[in-house]
Structure formats: C-alpha cells, structure tokens
Amino acid sequence: MPYTEVPGARVPIRMWADPDGVESAAMDQLRNVTRLPWVHGLAVMPDVHYGKGATVGSVIAMRDAVSPAAVGVDIGCGMTAVKTSLRAEDLPDDLRRLRSDLEAAVPVGFHMHKAPVNVQRIHGLKTADWGRFWEHFDDLAPSVHGRRDRAEKQMGTLGGGNHFLEVCLDGKSAVWLVLHSGSRNIGKELAEHHIEKARKLPHNQDLPDRDLAVFVTGTPEMDAYRRDLFWAQDYARRNRDVMMGLACDVVRKSFPGARFEQWISCHHNYVAEERYDGADVLVTRKGAIRAGKGDLGIIPGSMATGTYIVRGLGNPESFNSASHGAGRRMSRNKARKTFTEADLAEQTAGVECRKDAGVVDEIPAAYKDIQEVVSAQTDLVEVVAHLRQVVCVKG
C-alpha cells in the first residue's frame, strides 16, 4: 500500500501503517524524533510499536548525527535463513529429538558455551579474519574490557525473549533453517554505555526526549560510538553465522547428505551510511531491514505464524527499508496476564516447541498479524517464500 504522511511534523513522517491504529505513546515518539534538528527524514514500518526513545519499526535518516537509543540495546540484532536440500517427507514424525539436538548445539537463554567455539571446525564458515576481529576488542570502551571471556563464550548463542532457532517448511515442502539473534550481552553493555554518555552531553539537555540524545559527527564521542557500534554489528553477524553453522552440522549428522544453499542474512537494529536526496546520511533502522532493489530479507511472524523471505523493491521513500517482523500488539506483561499455558499449547499446535509459562509472553496472539504486515508493504518488498515452522527453539 502507499504510505500515509502524518501532517504537522518538522520533517515528513511517512507511515506504512494506519496512524489511527498506532498507540498514542508511539505516535508521540515519532513526532519527537522529527523535532531533532539533525533528522533528514523518518519512515515508519507497518509493525511499528512503542520502544525506548524511538519506536520499534522506525527508519531514521540523520545528517551528521546518530542516536544510540534509536538503534536499541541489541545492536545488530537480525535474522539468518538457509534453504536445505531436505523435503518435508525426510523429517521424522516425532521432531523432539531434532529439537533436543539443536538445543544441545546452540545454548539458549542465559546459557553460553563452556569454552569458545572453535570456528575452524564449523563446516563452511569463513574464518580468515576472525583473529583480526577479536584483536579489536581491546579498542572498545574500557567499561567492557573485562567482558572478553564472556563475549567469546556467548559467540554462537541464541539468548532469550523473541530470539529463536527454527526448522521450517516452505510452500513447496522444502526444509529451511531460520534464526533470530543479536550481539548478546556485549552489545547490550556497549549500547547502555553510550546511551548514558550521550544523555550527559550539553547539546542534548533540551531535547523533547532525553532518550533521543545524539552524538554529533566530528566529536570524540561520535568516533568512539561508531567504533563500538560497527564492532557490535559485526559481532551480531558472526554470532548468527556460528549458530547457523552449528545448526547445519546438527542437520548433517541427523540427515547425511543434506546440502545447504547460500545463507540469507540481514540486520534489523543497526546503522548504515547511505545517500538520499543528494545528502549523505546515517540511517538508523530500529526494527527494520534494508530492502534495496534485489536485497533478500527475512520478516518473521511469531512462534506459529511463520516467516517471509522477501526481495526488496528499492523504494527511496522508505529509505530502502521494510519491516523486521510482525511487531508486538501487547506488552510482555500484558501477555502473561492475558494468556495461559493452555492458550500457548493451542496456538502452537503442530509446532515442536516449548509450551510452558516461561514463553507465554511469546504467544502468537501477542503479535500483530504477519500477513497483514506483509500486505501493507507491497511497494517495499515482494514475497519470495512463506515458511511455516515445525520446530521452534526458544530460550
């Protein structure tokens, strides 16, 4: 659908969502973003909902500035998916063993590997530059220098919340692996360090929302943030690579002869240097993926509604972006108060997954309708495949 432009803002708010259907607190956040003097433009995705500082589902283009809270604390969070040579009929009727093997290979929740994963032993993983990547750890903010051991052991781990590792089937019964995760605790600590640092800067004292505090180009604070930001984004990508490699190894052992196509991967909490309207800008996608012309992307729904593989159409009005998922329709606390384990079991029928109280806040009804979200952005992406999960691993 074409976007709706919200009137009364300093810069245009282009929304691929019905403004009347967005909670008032989120609309206030969007208007606050446009009041920042550095903002060049704002695009709002159909999965938009309230977040810290900036809404989830925001694409903010800024000139010579970036807001660390508008990136979020899970720097580089995103998705990876791969199509396998397996077919639905290759899978066993009882998928509990496969789920158990995946959980054994990829730690979930607060768990981590007992020792750092030896990336040299992961089939197909490119490892030539891993040493150089870790050499830059000592260049990060001093506040995290004592976290290297933990960061190394969390490399290749899923985390909790809405992060997941799934076995899915597409419309032609091909088997896919899909996962969602980010930069784990090291990304969170770096983000929180810089968010607090930005809040104290003199130029941020009179902002409409202190959570939108920015760093400005040409300052030591901006240089330090960019260094840590891009390292954390790289950590997140590598984290997903290691997990996908581990998951593929599980599949190889369970199904000898299985083959894998090229992985599809995309961030959806990150910053990129791009150019629009003749201006060089820093584009912050918080809960949004890049959807440049031909770009392959991944838009997940919930534990039982599947995932869409999409191809970007390159719409500059959205700053070449699309939604990152279905988006929540209710908070985690409200979901826990509204639904029961029985509701979760009913809504995830046919999916081999956790169905206990620990994941009730991830129940499908707590999320927006993924089909409606995808249908609202037909000028941003085209659907390549719709995947339905048969196994879902959560922390």
| Rounded-to-5 percentages of helix, strand, coil across the chain | 35, 25, 35
Look at residue 84 and give its three-state secondary structure. strand
- Residue 267 counted as an annotated binding residue: no
Query: What is the C-alpha to C-alpha distance for residues 246 and 288, in angstroms, rounded to an integer?
Result: 26
- Residue 194 counted as an annotated binding residue: no
- Residue 301 counted as an annotated binding residue: yes
CB atoms within 10 A of CB 269: 27
- Residue 327 counted as an annotated binding residue: yes
- Residue 303 counted as an annotated binding residue: yes
Residue 324 annotated in active site: yes
Of the residues 49, 267, 324, 386, only one is catalytic, namely 324
One-letter amino acid at 161 equals G
- Residue 326 counted as an annotated binding residue: yes
- Residue 255 counted as an annotated binding residue: no
Q: Which helix (H) or strand (E) holds 250?
A: helix 220-254
Query: What is the C-alpha to C-alpha distance for residues 287 and 270, in angstroms, rounded to an integer?
Result: 9
Query: What is the C-alpha to C-alpha distance for residues 3 and 25, in angstroms, rounded to an integer?
Result: 20
- Residue 166 counted as an annotated binding residue: yes
- Residue 268 counted as an annotated binding residue: yes
Query: 243, 233, 236, 300: which is closest to 107 by C-alpha?
Result: 243
- Residue 394 counted as an annotated binding residue: yes
Query: What is the Cβ-side half-sphere exposure of residue 212, based on CA atoms within 13 angstroms?
Result: 22
Calculate the CA 220 to chain-centre distance.
28
Query: What is the Cβ-side half-sphere exposure of residue 227, based on CA atoms within 13 angstroms?
Result: 13
- Residue 269 counted as an annotated binding residue: yes
Query: E-strand spans in the chain?
Result: 4-6, 13-15, 39-49, 56-62, 65-66, 78-87, 164-169, 174-181, 215-216, 264-267, 269-276, 279-286, 288-290, 296-300, 307-312, 321-323, 352-353, 381-393
- Residue 302 counted as an annotated binding residue: yes
Binding site for Mn(2+), by residue number, is 74, 163, 180, 268
Which residues are known catalytic residues?
A: 324
Q: Binding site for GMP: which residues?
A: 162-166, 268-269, 300-303, 324-327, 394
List the binding residues: 74, 162-166, 180, 268-269, 300-303, 324-327, 394
